[in-house]
Chains A and B, each alone.
Chain A
Amino acid sequence: MNHAINPDKCTACTMCVAECPVTAATRKFRGPKMTGPALDRMRKQIQDDDFMLDYCSNCKNCDLTCPSGVPISTLNMLARAEYYKTHKRKSQADDMLAHGEKMGKLVCSLPMGSMLMNMGMSIGKAMHMMEPLGISGKAPMPSYADESFFSKFKKIKQQSYPKKVVFFPGCFINYNQPEVGVDLVKAYQANHIEVIVDESFVCCGSPLVSGGYLDEARENSERNTSIIQKWISKGYEVITACTSCGLMLRQEYEELFPSVEVAENAGHIYDAMEYLAKLYDEGALNTNFAAIPGSLIYHAPCHLKVQGFGRPTLDLLSMIPGVKIEEADAGCCGLSGSYGFKADKYEISMQIGAKLFERIKQSGAQQGVSECGICRLQMKNGSGKDAVHPISILAQAYA
């Protein structure tokens, strides 16, 4: 087991409990300190029987708060996977939401698949067919794109440049919002970078880990790790535009499935905005931005805050003439991957997000900005204002 996973590093200071959004929303959750490090000490002796584990949303605010570097949420996820080996799941929702990649592949490969699927979801919702499956009928299910990013990417005519990066789009961009990937290619091309997409990548595994399907996540980790190895051995860096994919590839693989390769890869994986900010630091960023008048409100995803690279989106977007951007600083959006889609978690999720929704509504900003697709859905759902990926704003400024 990874040396970093040591519950005894926890000094029981309880700051994680104070900052845990789920703990704040419901007493059905024992809180990160208890379900994480405290119970983990017990788990070394006896089999766990803590049903409250189910309530952790894996948002990682506990990890963010912990001054001692205890990977609290990962302790929870490891325990959850063990727990569900011997306990019945509440519904089919866990299975469906953890395996979104399967659905995405299927839907985007069928003619009119996305249309039928999206229609099916609306009808399903209207007919209250979702609840029996354990999925909330009120949650903002993401609609499927009519063409996957993989397919759209093939039609983009890129200028070839010596500098190349490998883009890991992840399921959400590939199957739900391919336009984010297209904008990434635009923005990178404007910086004389050629984008490579490797279709052999599989889901990063984040939803599998959250659902407690650790063995499948391990398979995905092994596959992605070897693909990343192949590309970095050629001297290419790997870019993600979803902060949860990025966190999974860079940090959670190391916590959950540590290996020499995983550790080596982590140093070569960048968030799309982080990478451009690094170019700026090196004096290599194209800052020839067209003016975009407008005010934006930026929500930093929890899974970004915990990666330690600051707020490159604020650094970069504030360079665009006309852009006024403020940070929401309003905590977790609540949706947290697939958490808020579950019928028994929807209310918790909306309660968590309430502060952010109010902040966006009050701000007077025209548009929300966030790197995380799930956060963007929730921002729109809760505040009524659209939210976009920052790379799309950059692509617009380069146009």
Chain B
Amino acid sequence: MRMHDVVVIGSGLAGLFAACIAAEQGKNVSLISYGAGALTVGGGIIDALGYTDDGKPVKNPSEAIKGLTGKHPYSKVGIAGVEQALQAFQRIAAAEGYPFIGDSTKNQWVATAIGALKPTCLTPKTMDGSALKEATKVLVVGFEGLKDFYADMVQKNLLNIYGERKEIRAVTTELPFEKGRDVRDISAMDIARWLDTEEGRAHFAGQMKQYVKPGMVLLMPPVLGTMPNYCVQEALERALGCRLIEVSSMPPALTGYRLNKMMTSYAHKLGVRFVTKAKVIGSHIINGVCKYVVTTGCGREQKHYGSTFILATGGVFGGGLATGMGEMTEPIFNIDIEVPKVQTEWSHKALFSDGKQIFAQYGVEVDKDLVPLTANGEKVAKNIRVVGRTLAGYDYCYEKSGNGVALATAYQAAMSIGGAKK
């Protein structure tokens, strides 16, 4: 029987990172996924903790995380675990040739696609928050025909933030792309593919040269290459003599795409066995131990045996939690999640209310080791760990902690399994 030390379910950041860390520990790991994880639609940066419960920006995530109590996943992992996780992530990113900058004691502010600023912790070099901060001049670079990025709007919003402190201009560059009915609309990915080529970079640099002044940073949609490396950014910075910085963008977000490629590549190098397009529909738990999970795909069910199971299937949006009127469950291990029977009590009346949303904090309750608990507080099975958004106790969207929690809990889960068995 094919048996894995660790079976990870879900291929978002939490699942991929858990698989990599477990494999680094010498475990043989299988990763089961149905469709791509949400990484590709995400911004590809690591938010650790951006805002306090009362909406104040966090300067030092480590300090703020220490103060978290109760059900918050960070309080289960502890600050040492969080810091180790972020460092392990940075080690992997560096090993893959796509190092992330920043550390857990200091948030950076990065520009969004509409020219707002958001706090985050670790970023690729292409989103370095300090570059925007230090620049005296910002040139927002839009591309003719790119519908997902409005340079003028970004400029206007940045002016609202920085006022007179920075000179902020916008320019729209031309693309030597074929036009007309025979070709589709231009996306950020198309421009990134063009800048992957030497010809594209020369053309772009040639156009931009006239605008560049000392102390200037070029703020662009995410187009600095499709691959998880800095070749495009470095080549253009050399050619133009100024910094080039990307904002987060509409999906498919290049920055998330690169992060996904980086993690998947590392997992393959470690020999993680991928089971793709297989939907996990159930599990077999006997005497408090999960023996296998069951997948469907192409006409029949298949059992996947493992010593430890790491659940990283996401929340309601990712399909990791299933909801009905007045009820919520985790469908693979069949864990009931306590929610109000009256649906209107799940949320604040205002969707964008000035506080954490109630429904956003629903999820699987776990103990210190991230082992899932039933409503009675009993372990569902001692060899299951729950990581990432499936967990209860935090609103990642409000507090800006999504990828941070994913990494911290995935690391904790993978490290808690014990010594090498390979």
Give me the interface of A with B, judged by CB distance under 8 Å.
13-15, 17-19, 23-24, 27-31, 34, 52, 63-69, 247, 250-251, 254, 263, 265-269, 277, 280-283, 305-311, 314-315, 327, 329
Contact = CB atoms under 8 A, between A and B. Distances in A.
A329 B263 CA distance: 12
Contact of B298 (A14, A31, A266, A283): A266
Nearest to B275: A310
Given A67-B319, A251-B298, A283-B1, A308 B277 contact: yes
Contact of B252 (A18, A266, A307): A18
Given A65-B36, A67-B36, A67-B318, A250 B299 contact: yes
A251 B182 contact: no
Given A308-B278, A310-B274, A311-B274, 13 more contacts: A15-B41, A18-B189, A27-B178, A34-B184, A52-B184, A64-B277, A67-B38, A265-B299, A282-B1, A305-B277, A307-B298, A308-B298, A311-B275
A17 B251 CA distance: 10
A15 B275 contact: no
Nearest to A29: B184
Interface hub of A13, A23, A268 (most chain B Cβ within 10 A) = A13
B357 interface: no
B35 A69 contact: yes
Contact of A63 (B275, B277, B303): B277
A327 B257 CA distance: 21
B193 A24 contact: yes
Interface string B178-220: 1000111011011001000000000000000000000000000
Closest 9 CB pairs of A and B: A308-B297, A266-B299, A67-B35, A18-B252, A308-B278, A310-B275, A27-B183, A329-B268, A307-B298
9 contacts: A18-B251, A64-B277, A67-B319, A68-B35, A250-B299, A251-B298, A263-B299, A305-B276, A309-B297
A15 B273 contact: no
Interface string B33-74: 011111011000000000000000000000000000000000
Interface residues of B, number: 44
Contacts of B252: 14-15, 17-18
Contacts of A269: 299
Contacts of B177: 27
A33 to B, nearest CB: 10
B184 A308 contact: no
Interface string B150-184: 00000000000000000000000000011000111
Given A251-B298, A267-B300, A314 B273 contact: yes
Interface string B7-36: 000000000000000000000001000111
A306 B277 contact: yes
B296 interface: yes
Nearest to A283: B1
Nearest to B304: A310
A193 B356 CA distance: 61
Nearest to A314: B273
Contacts of B273: 310-311, 314-315
A281 B2 contact: yes
A251 B40 CA distance: 26
Interface in B271-325: 273-279, 295-300, 302-303, 318-319
Contacts of A247: 298
Given A283-B1, A309-B302, A18 B257 contact: yes
Nearest to A24: B193
Contacts of B2: 277, 280-281, 315
Given A277-B2, A315-B273, A308 B296 contact: yes
B251 A13 contact: yes
Interface string B253-273: 000010000001100100001
Interface hub of B38, B278, B300, B319 (most chain A Cβ within 10 A) = B300
A141 to B, nearest CB: 28
Contacts of A19: 36, 40
A322 B233 CA distance: 43
A265 B300 CA distance: 10
Contacts of B275: 308-311
A305 B277 CA distance: 7
A167 to B, nearest CB: 18
Nearest to B1: A281
A13 B39 CA distance: 11
Nearest to B37: A67
Nearest to B178: A27
Contacts of A281: 1-2, 303
A131 B315 CA distance: 52
Contact of A66 (B35, B184, B278, B303): B35
A247 B298 CA distance: 8
Nearest to A281: B1
B298 A15 contact: no
A311 B37 CA distance: 19
Nearest to A13: B41
Contacts of B34: 67, 69, 308
A280 B2 CA distance: 7
Nearest to B184: A30
Given A15-B251, A28-B183, A64-B277, A251 B319 contact: no
Nearest to A51: B182
A63 B229 CA distance: 27
B143 to A, nearest CB: 14
A329 B276 contact: no
Contacts of B297: 307-309
B251 A14 contact: yes
Contacts of B251: 13-15, 18
Given A63-B277, A281-B2, A15 B36 contact: yes
Interface hub of B38, B40, B177 (most chain A Cβ within 10 A) = B40
Contacts of B276: 64, 305-306, 308, 310
A379 to B, nearest CB: 18
B298 to A, nearest CB: 4
Contacts of B295: 308
A307 B34 CA distance: 11
Contacts of B299: 250-251, 254, 263, 265-269
Contacts of A280: 1-2
A361 to B, nearest CB: 17
A314 B29 CA distance: 13
Contacts of B1: 280-283
A68 B319 CA distance: 9
Nearest to A327: B268
A310 B34 CA distance: 11
Contacts of B193: 24
Contacts of B183: 27-28
Contacts of A24: 189, 193, 226
Contact of A27 (B41, B184, B303): B184
Contact of B35 (A30, A65, A266, A315): A65
A162 to B, nearest CB: 23
A42 to B, nearest CB: 16
A328 to B, nearest CB: 9
A19 B302 CA distance: 27
Contacts of B40: 15, 18-19, 65
A310 B302 CA distance: 10
Nearest to B303: A281
